[in-house]
Amino acid sequence: MVVDKHARDAIRSGALSVFAPAVRRVRGRFRPGDVVKIETATGDFLGYAFAQTSDRDVRSGRAPGIVARIFDRKGEYPERSPDEIVLERIERRYRFRKRWKVDAHRDHMRVVFSEADDVPGLILDKFNDIAVFQTTCPAIERIILRNAAELLEILDVDTLYEKNDSRKRRQLGMEVRKRVVAGEERVETVVEEYGVRFAVNVEEGQKTGFYIDQVENRAKVQELVDGGRVLDVFTYVGGFAIHAAVGGAEEVVGIDKFDRVVQAAYRNADLNDVRDRVKFLVGDAFALLEKFERRGEEFDVVVLDPPAFVTSKEHLNRGRRAYFDVNYKALGLVRDGGLFVTCSCSHFLEPSDFVRLVNEAAARRSVRLRMLGPLRGQPPCHPIVPGNPDTRYLKAMFCAVEH
């Protein structure tokens, strides 16, 4: 594939995805999963990539989005096989995390974070003794399945689980599957982070089973809580709520719209002996926040960890309104002198834009925010490539609130 100068510059800065509009021409024939060479119009080598689609679709203009994912920028292929390159990279990424003590206070981690770890299209998480993978790259999928038994040894786990049920796979025409591919037939385990335990069901849980990316922010909430009442909005399985209770909160209320995750949150409360201080409600977060304000409810700590309200550039304005609205409603429940923690996992929403929206919501409420340090984000097992802004997505503001 020959790409334009914009793709050239992006690849040299760390991007590994080749998008359809950047392809100027193709040579030869290929199918999804085949290895293709990426170069500039002047013949400069940029890397070897796995094709996401066929040459016919690229030529006809029917190929949407990503058409190739670069896995080798050094020219190691074809002397080394794609399997060898990818497996070595996974092992190196795992050793990297162990070396920098990512698991010093926890027994779960993201082992591979797609492009940030030079294994494009792959998410690989380790939950204690179970590893889970997701991919939208046909070639990566084949490599993982061919080498599943070896991955058990590399990652020191008993089970390798395939959680390939995303909407994106359906859009790409890839088979949807959830199954154990190597090791023991089990889907549940218990993880521990900063002294707090959580049950993880990799089959039924969202994404790979548990949100690892908020681990350090959950621990920070645990550290800052000093008695009082805590509200955890979009609690999922009780992540922030359980940490707050363990940290000493007198009363914790969690909100989620799904009954099954609320039941999982109660199980996690039992695992940590804090059920007597937590209550989880099933319902729409926006409606419940309004209800709490009408009743005059106040909390010493309010945590907002919503799903991504901005899922594409086309939905940016709608997503901004949603972030403004939920922050505005939540700020009405924080006591004078309380703590407000608000998050966004939308990588389409710039950090500065997020801070501005939260500040505008506070101004509308006539409250003043003081950030307790710089904007926080994702943990080291979700590394950020400076030249690839898509690898930075999580934003978390910890703010003192003054009325």
Q: Which residues are identified as catalytic?
A: 345
Q: What gap in Å lies between CA 209 and CA 196, rounded to an integer? A: 17
**b/e map 110-141, b = 16+ CB within 10 Å:** bbbbbbbbbbbbbbbbbbebbbbbbbbbbbbb
Q: Which residues pair with 303 in a beta bridge?
A: 232, 341
What letter would DSSP give residue 240? H
The answer to whether 342 touches 304, Cβ cutoff 8 Å, is yes
Sign of CA dihedral 293, 290, 231, 301: negative
Q: Which of 392, 311, 313 is nearest to 351 (CA)?
A: 392
Residues comprising the chain, all counted: 403
- The separation between CA 137 and the C-alpha centre of its own chain, rounded to angstroms, equals 18
Angle at the Cα of 97 from the Cα atoms of 91 and 102, rounded to 5 degrees: 150
Using DSSP, state whether 261 is helix, strand or coil: helix
Residue entry with tokens 């407000």? 340
Q: What gap in Å lies between CA 173 and CA 258, rounded to an integer? A: 29
Q: What gap in Å lies between CA 121 and CA 207, rounded to an integer? A: 14
A 10 A CB-CB count for 222 gives: 21
**In sequence order, what are the residues at sequence separation of 6 or more whose Cβ sits closer than 8 angstroms to the Cβ of residue 194?**
105, 106, 215, 218, 219, 222, 243
Q: Which residues pair with 264 in a beta bridge?
A: none
Q: What gap in Å lies between CA 321 and CA 358, rounded to an integer? A: 11
Q: Which residues pair with 282 in a beta bridge?
A: 256
Q: What gap in Å lies between CA 277 and CA 241, rounded to an integer? A: 10
- The separation between CA 23 and the C-alpha centre of its own chain, rounded to angstroms, equals 29
Q: What gap in Å lies between CA 75 and CA 363, rounded to an integer? A: 54
H helices of 37-81, in order, are: 55-60
